[in-house]
Amino acid sequence: MSETAGAGRYAPSPSGDLHIGNLRTALLAWLFARHSGRRFLMRIEDLDDRARDGAAESQLRDLRSIGLDWDEEPMLQSDRRAAHDAAIDTLTAAGRTFECFCSRKEIQAAPTAPHAPPGAYPGTCRDLDDAQRAERRAEGRPPAIRLRSDTSRFTITDDLCGRYTGVVDDFVLRRGDGTAAYNLAVVVDDGAQGIDQVVRADDLLSSTPRQAYLATLLGLPVPDHAHVPLVLNTAGQRLAKRDGAVTLADLALVGVDTARVLSMMARSLRLASANETVTTAVLLDRFDPTRLPDGPWIVDPDDLW
């Protein structure tokens, strides 16, 4: 854990260009951190199989172009493998892990316990003996490592969403290919960076109880959380590249510059009036978390240009 002041962060996966929904969440994370006197840090979560060469650089360039800055060089999650493995070793030594040989298809087809929450891991490999594990290894199945949870639910308090209780099952800590799973990596890396404030889209709220519970097992503080509403298309679905010109590069091709994009995002957050040109410094001066809209921003990409 860092000995310096607490920090907020933005942690994109470098799978492609950021769209205005991603940029709006990044802007909010920056505003929350700077407004509270925290440092603001970047982390590139490049453990995802979808990571693309050059995407991280493009994302950082777009974030700078809308006026965001950060206080340290971005952390690369792929450089953190030793720390991820050490955390799993600590949990294993405490009897908190087990090997799982199930495929995703097998998990989906398996019957769940009578009172298990929907979607919870059914416990198929939780109590395998040594002979059964050896048999599965002989079949060529590389095991994932799962947490041996002693609770089925955990409650967190979110600054925007209030108290939220979510499922905590025996979730994956390390995939069968040896790569740390998201829920493990994000907890370990937040701890290493001194992150005590996490601002992200509200579609990730359901995963937060798992991460908070894991942090307590690893002796790490649970950050404050603020899950902000998504940006949706007119069909009520998450905004995506398929919706048209929604990245800065695509919008520039149709005559929408970065300053206009920032102003549109500011208006959606009640931080600017119609046709007003703003900067991030102006937005920070106006920022009040209690006045943020509590519903999604519905965007018709045709209206952006």
The per-residue pLDDT for range 256-295, each reduced to its tens digit, is 999 999 999 999 999 999 889 999 999 999 999 999 999 9
- High-pLDDT (> 70) share of the chain, %: 95
Q: Is residue 210 part of a domain?
A: no
Q: Is residue 261 part of a domain?
A: yes
Checking if the pLDDT of 3 tops 50, the result is no
Residue 4: its pLDDT value, please?
A: 46
Contacts of 294 (CB under 8 A, 6+ apart): 160, 229
Check if the beta carbon of residue 198 is closer than 8 Å to that of residue 227. Answer: no
How far apart CA 144 and CA 34 sit, in angstroms, is 39
Model confidence band, residue 104 (pLDDT cutoffs 50, 70, 90): confident
Average pLDDT of every residue of the chain: 92
Q: Which CATH number covers residue 99?
A: 3.90.800.10
Q: Is residue 265 part of a domain?
A: yes
Supply the DSSP string of 162-181, one letter for each residue: EEEEEE--S-EEE-TTSPBP
How far apart CA 130 and CA 12 sit, in angstroms, is 40
Same domain, 125 and 73: no
Residue 43: its pLDDT value, please?
A: 98
Q: Which residues are annotated as a binding site for ATP?
A: 241
Same domain, 139 and 57: no
Q: H helices of 94-202, where?
A: 104-109, 130-138, 182-193
Residue 1: its pLDDT value, please?
A: 36
Residue 256: its pLDDT value, please?
A: 92
> What is the mean predicted confidence (pLDDT) over 68-94?
97
Same domain, 147 and 120: yes
Q: Which residues are annotated as a binding site?
A: 9-13, 45, 100, 102, 121, 125, 182, 200, 241
- Tens of pLDDT, residues 265-274: 999 999 999 8
How far apart CA 194 and CA 181 sit, in angstroms, is 20
Residue 203's closest CA among 265, 169, 161, 154?
A: 161
Same domain, 107 and 165: yes
Residue, of 159 and 118, whose pLDDT is higher: 159
Check if the beta carbon of residue 5 is closer than 8 Å to that of residue 38. Answer: yes
Same domain, 279 and 197: yes
Q: How many domains does the chain have?
A: 2
Q: Is residue 2 part of a domain?
A: no
Same domain, 51 and 86: no
Checking if the pLDDT of 297 tops 90, the result is yes
What residues make up the domain containing 259? 7-78+190-205+221-304
How far apart CA 121 and CA 139 sit, in angstroms, is 22
Residue 100's closest CA among 175, 151, 49, 169?
A: 175
Checking if the pLDDT of 201 tops 70, the result is yes
Q: Is residue 216 part of a domain?
A: no
Residue 275: its pLDDT value, please?
A: 85
Checking if the pLDDT of 2 tops 60, the result is no
How far apart CA 294 and CA 279 sit, in angstroms, is 23
Q: Which CATH number covers residue 14?
A: 3.40.50.620
Q: Which residues are annotated as a binding site for L-glutamate?
A: 9-13, 45, 182, 200
Q: Of the residues 155, 184, 213, which one is the last residue of a structural domain?
A: 184
Q: Which residues are annotated as a binding site for Zn(2+)?
A: 100, 102, 121, 125
Q: Is residue 1 part of a domain?
A: no
> What is the mean predicted confidence (pLDDT) over 218-246?
91
Residue 273's closest CA among 282, 264, 281?
A: 264
How far apart CA 191 and CA 52 sit, in angstroms, is 26
Residue, of 160 and 238, whose pLDDT is higher: 160
Q: Is residue 137 part of a domain?
A: yes
Same domain, 46 and 148: no
How far apart CA 185 and CA 42 sit, in angstroms, is 15
- Tens of pLDDT, residues 202-214: 999 999 999 999 9
